[in-house]
């Protein structure tokens, strides 16, 4: 039994040696090796924003105005949405962007004293120490991009706040069945 | 040699597994924010809230007992608006009627004072109605609708009462006289 086992190991060693170089197999020696076998692989970089809470992609704010004044309500505060399982396996950048809510049927310039758009602030927090923030009334949003220097997997909380009538809080909002805006959250590898 | 082949096969297997998951270096999640603005009209609070004409009959001269000169009366309704187009002012006016004596006045006497109610500001052409009560106080109420306002509108309205007159320029019976003007702002007859 002991002899048989020795022979098997010797054959295996010889095969590995021939793989490493023909000259090694030709040289007679009391010992052979060690032989090195490189093993390589690759993990590609990837990012995913995960899944939304309850799979609902709409912040439904309902009626936006005070029926007594026609002005935008001052207490609009929708429940935040959670992106569960957001993951990047490398350093990353989170970017949030948003567009004002606009009347979808009333598309012409409203009369004096009226507005057809609503601004707000979209905040994506949880990914970076400083949340990514986009204010739709601003032409420049330097805080919309935030970098993370480590791989991460966790939740991103998307919050909408600070709703204001575009053009001034004293403007009345034209009636419209649907005011709509869009928000995007992007995770990108690298920073 | 056999070992080398095995390692190559494992490497290929990993490569195919990575392709099947379609991992991306960027992932974007889009959500929308929706709301609605209902149709609403608001009439500003009238100022003053009532009109007292005082003594209406002349007490001397050739018109003693008949309706004296009554100055035009104005009421302001500031901060009036509708946040949708296709609206109309409706004016319902009831002549001043002496309410204490239910008997029909004798010939040559009257218990009614008619007037014209004019509501301006909503459209270029005002809404106007003139009461046509008979001397006995019958047929006291008249209704008229103004032109359509096609756009959302925010303005101040002015109610003006003019052209006070007694049916047949009769002598007015003594007593307290009460009239009423009701202004309604809402969708026009075609809406």
Question: What confidence tens digit (pLDDT) does each residue in B40-83 have?
Answer: 999 999 999 999 999 999 999 999 999 999 999 999 999 999 99
Give percent of chain A above pLDDT 90: 76
Q: What is the ipTM of this complex?
A: 0.80
Chain B residues inside the 8 Å CB shell of A59: 31-34
Say whether A113 and B4 touch across the interface (CB within 8 A): no
Using the predicted structure, report yes or no on whether residue A177 has a pLDDT greater than 80: yes
Using the predicted structure, report yes or no on whether residue A15 has a pLDDT greater than 80: no
Report in angstroms the alpha-carbon separations of A127 from A88, A118, B23, B88: 10, 27, 20, 54
Q: What is the three-class DSSP state of B4?
A: helix
Q: What is the predicted pLDDT for the residue at B165? A: 97
Q: What is the predicted pLDDT for the residue at A29? A: 74
Chain A residues inside the 8 Å CB shell of B151: 111
Cα B39 to Cα A173: distance, rounded to the nearest angstrom: 10
Q: What is the predicted pLDDT for the residue at B189? A: 76
Say whether A47 and B26 touch across the interface (CB within 8 A): yes
Pick from B14, B32, B38: CB nearest A57: B32
Cα A86 to Cα A93: distance, rounded to the nearest angstrom: 12
Chain B residues inside the 8 Å CB shell of A187: 26-28
Q: Who's near A175: CB < 8 A, 6+ residues apart?
A: A106, B37, B38, B39, B40, B83, B84, B152
- The model carries a pTM of 0.79
Q: How much is the average pLDDT of A41-47? A: 92
Say whether B33 and A40 touch across the interface (CB within 8 A): no
pLDDT digits (tens, 9 = 90+) for A77-121: 999 999 999 999 999 999 999 999 999 999 999 999 999 999 999
């Amino acid at each position: 039994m002991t002899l048989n086992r020795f022979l098997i190991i010797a054959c295996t060693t010889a095969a590995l040696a021939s793989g490493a170089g023909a000259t090694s197999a030709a040289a007679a020696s009391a010992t052979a090796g060690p032989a090195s076998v490189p093993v390589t692989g690759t993990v590609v970089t990837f990012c995913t924003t995960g899944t939304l809470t309850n799979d609902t992609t709409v912040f439904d704010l309902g009626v936006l105005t005070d029926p007594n004044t026609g002005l935008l309500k001052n207490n609009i505060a929708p429940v935040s949405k959670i992106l569960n399982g957001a993951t990047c396996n490398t350093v990353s950048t989170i970017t949030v962007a948003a567009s004002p809510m606009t009347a979808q049927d009333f598309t012409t310039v409203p009369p004096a004293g009226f507005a057809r758009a609503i601004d707000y602030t979209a905040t994506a927090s949880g990914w970076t120490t400083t949340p990514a923030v986009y204010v739709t009334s601003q032409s420049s949003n330097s805080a919309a991009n935030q970098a993370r220097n480590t791989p991460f997997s966790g939740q991103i909380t998307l919050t909408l706040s600070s709703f204001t009538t575009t053009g001034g809080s004293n403007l009345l909002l034209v009636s419209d069945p649907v005011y709509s805006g869009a928000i995007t959250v992007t995770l990108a590898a690298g920073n | 040699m056999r070992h080398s082949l095995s390692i190559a096969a494992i490497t290929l297997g990993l490569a195919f597994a990575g392709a099947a998951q379609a991992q991306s270096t960027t992932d974007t999640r889009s959500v929308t924010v929706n709301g609605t603005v209902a149709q609403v009209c608001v009439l500003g609070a009238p100022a003053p809230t009532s009109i007292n004409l005082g003594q209406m009959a002349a007490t001397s001269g050739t018109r003693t007992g008949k309706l004296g000169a009554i100055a035009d009366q104005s009421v302001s309704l500031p901060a009036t608006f509708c946040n949708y187009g296709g609206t109309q002012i409706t004016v319902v006016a009831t002549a001043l009627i002496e309410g204490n004596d239910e008997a029909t006045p004798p010939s040559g006497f009257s218990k009614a004072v008619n007037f014209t109610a004019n509501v301006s500001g909503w459209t270029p052409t005002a809404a106007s109605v003139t009461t046509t009560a008979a001397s006995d106080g019958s047929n006291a109420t008249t209704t008229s609708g103004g032109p359509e306002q096609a756009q959302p509108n925010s303005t101040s309205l002015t109610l003006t009462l003019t052209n006070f007159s007694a049916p047949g320029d009769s002598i007015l019976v003594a007593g307290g006289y009460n009239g009423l003007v009701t202004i309604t702002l809402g969708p026009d007859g075609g809406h």
